[in-house]
Amino acid sequence: MTALRIVSIIVYRPQQMKPLKGKTILLLEDENLMRRKIANYLEEVGADVTEAKNIGAAKDLLASQKFDFALLDINLPDGTSIDLLKQNAVPEGTIIIVMTADPTMDTAIKALKLGAKDYLTKPVAPPEILMAIKQCLQSQKHERIQEFKKAKSKGTEFIFGDSLADIKAQLVHLSKKEQLIEDSLPPPVLIEGETGTGKSALAKWIHQNSPRAEKEFVQINCANLQDSIAESELFGHEKGAFTDAKNMRVGLFEAADGGTLFLDEIASLPEKVQAKILTILDDGLVRRVGGNREIPVNVKIIAASNIELHELVEAGKFRSDLFFRLDLIRAKLPPLRDRGKDILSIAHSIINKLAPKYKLKSFELTPQCIEKINAYNWPGNIRELSFEIERALLFSNEDQIELLKNLNLEAQDADSLNAGSILPDSHFLIPETGFNLETHILKLINKTLEQCDGNVSKASRLLGVSRDYLRYKLKSNLGQNTQLSE
C-alpha cells in the first residue's frame, strides 16, 4: 500500500507534468505568504515567475520585461490593478488574469471590460490558477486557429476597383447589419452579370466577409439540375418519397444551415421550385419531398443570373414575387470591357494567382500586352482573360509575357469598322460638306432602342457599349421620346 501511494504521488506531482514550461508570469500580490505559495506552485509546473508587492513595482516590471501572463490582485497598498489596466500599462500580448475578494464582482467586471481574460475569487487555491491559465492558453490557440482559417478562407480574391466601389460599400454595410441580426434570416443578395464576369467569385467574397465566414458555403449551378431532381437536391427527400428514394436525404438548404447557399443561374429552376424558395425566404422553413415536417433553417441566400431577371419576369419566365424578394440587394456586374483601368488590376491579380501554380516567378505585362488587353472586347469577360493569361504563363520562358497571341484583334478591328450592314454600302463616302457625327450616333442609338423596345441593357449589348454611355449620349437628345427600361 505504501509503495502504491508513493508511486501515485510521483505520477501526479505537478513538477513532473510541467504544463507551463517556458511561460513567464508576473505575480502581483501584497500578502507575502499567499504570494510565495502561488509562486512556488507555478514554478513547480514550469513557469518562470516574477513577483511584485505593489502597483509601482508591477508597473516598472511591465515596462522593462515581457510576460506571457500577468496575474494581478485587485487591491494593493498603493492603488488597484484597475488603474494599471486603465493606463494600458500591461502590454498587448500579455494575458491578464485578476484575483478579487470583492463579493459583488463589480471590480472583476470592470477588469474584464478593460482587457482581462479571466478572474478568480479569493481565497484562491493554486490549482485553480493553473486551470485558469490553461483555459486562457486554449482560448488563445483557438483564436489563432480561427484567425488562420479565416485568412485561408479569404483566398478567393475579388477585384472591385473604382468601377465597383459603390457595390463594395453596399456589401460592407450589409455585413455590418447582419452582425446585428445573426440569429435571424439575413436578407438575400442578387448578383447579375454576363457569363464570366465573376458572379461566383463575388458570392464567395460576400460569404467570406460576412458573420457566417466560418460556416458552410454551399454552391449549386441550377442550370445543371434536371427539373425532376431539383426539388430533391435543394430541399431533400424522405425515404420512399419516390421510386429511387431508398433513404432519407438532406437537401442543400439544410446542408447550408447557419451558412450560405449560392444558387447560380437561378433562372433555370422550374416555377414550382421557385415558389418553395420564396417560402423559405419568408419563414425559414424547409419541407423535404415526401415529408410533412417543417424544418427550420437559417440560410443566407445568394442568387445569380446571367440574364436580367426583370426581363424574364416580363416574359413570364420567372416568378415576379420571388424576383422582388431577391431584389432587395442587387449587385450588377458590368462586363469586363466596361471596367476601364480595373482590367489591368484584374490581370495582375490573375497572374499573381496562377504563376505559383506553374512554379514561375511573377511576370510583368509588356506595354504591347497592356495595349492589347485594353483594346480587346473580351466577350468571355474575366474567365476569358484568365484563360489567356494561363496560356501565356504556360508557354512563356521570359519574365515578361506577350498575351493574346491567339486572339485575332485585327479581325475584331475590321468588324468594328465595317459594322456589318450599318454603313450604307462599301462605296459610301463622307460628304464633302461633312456631317454631324453626334447626330448620326444618336440616330443609331435611337434605332437600336426601338428595336429593343426601349430596353437599355439590350441596346447596349447590341452596340457593344455600356448602359452609362447610352444614357450620357441620350441626355443631349432633347427630342428623345423612346420609353426606356433597364
Query: Splitting the chain (486 residues) into consecutive groups of 10 residues, what average pLDDT does each group show?
Result: 34 53 88 93 92 93 89 91 90 87 79 90 90 84 53 63 92 88 86 94 94 89 88 88 80 88 94 94 90 86 94 92 94 92 90 81 74 84 88 69 56 45 54 70 83 79 73 61 54
Record the cell numbers describing residue 484, joined without a space. Answer: 426606356
Nearest to 190 by CA among 313, 285, 98: 313
Helix, strand, or coil (residue 25): strand
The confidence score (pLDDT) of residue 191 equals: 96
In a domain, 461, yes or no: yes
Same domain, 65 and 18: yes
**CATH code, domain with 449:** 1.10.10
In a domain, 164, yes or no: no
- Number of domains within the chain: 4
In a domain, 175, yes or no: no
Same domain, 132 and 217: no
Last residue of a domain, one of 298, 333, 368: 333
Q: How many CB atoms lie within 10 A of CB 394?
A: 11
The confidence score (pLDDT) of residue 143 equals: 64
The confidence score (pLDDT) of residue 294 equals: 83
Last residue of a domain, one of 333, 354, 382: 333
Same domain, 201 and 261: yes
Same domain, 48 and 114: yes
The confidence score (pLDDT) of residue 274 equals: 96
Helix, strand, or coil (residue 249): strand
**CATH code, domain with 352:** 1.10.8.60
Q: N- to C-terminal Cα distance for the chain?
A: 90
Q: How many CB atoms lie within 10 A of CB 470?
A: 19
Q: Which stretches of 409-455 are DSSP H helices?
A: 409-418, 437-451
Structural domain containing residue 429: 419-475
Same domain, 187 and 327: yes
Pairwise CA distance, residues 235 & 291, whole Å: 10
Q: What are phi and psi of 323, to 5 degrees?
A: -60, -45
Same domain, 388 and 468: no
**CATH code, domain with 228:** 3.40.50.300
Same domain, 263 and 319: yes
Same domain, 218 and 302: yes
Q: Rounded to an integer, what is the distance from CA 45 to the centroid of its chain?
A: 43
Quote the Cα angle for 462-466-471, to 5°.
100
In a domain, 173, yes or no: no
Same domain, 191 and 328: yes
Q: Which amino acid is at 259?
A: G
Same domain, 432 and 367: no
**CATH code, domain with 11:** 3.40.50.2300
Q: Residue 157: CB partners within 8 Å, gap ≥ 6?
A: 201, 205, 349, 353
Helix, strand, or coil (residue 138): helix
The confidence score (pLDDT) of residue 331 equals: 94
Beta bridge partners of 217: 260
- The two most distant CA atoms of the chain are separated, in Å, by 121
Q: How many CB atoms lie within 10 A of CB 307?
A: 18
Q: How many CB atoms lie within 10 A of CB 116?
A: 21
Same domain, 376 and 251: no
The confidence score (pLDDT) of residue 14 equals: 40
Same domain, 187 and 328: yes
In a domain, 329, yes or no: yes
Q: Residue 410: CB partners within 8 Å, gap ≥ 6?
A: none
Nearest to 202 by CA among 188, 187, 192, 214: 192
Last residue of a domain, one of 303, 333, 363: 333
In a domain, 159, yes or no: no
Q: Rounded to an integer, what is the distance from CA 314 to the centroid of its chain?
A: 33
Q: What are phi and psi of 376, to 5 degrees?
A: -75, 150
Indicate the pTM of the whole model.
0.56
The confidence score (pLDDT) of residue 140 equals: 66
In a domain, 454, yes or no: yes
In a domain, 185, yes or no: yes
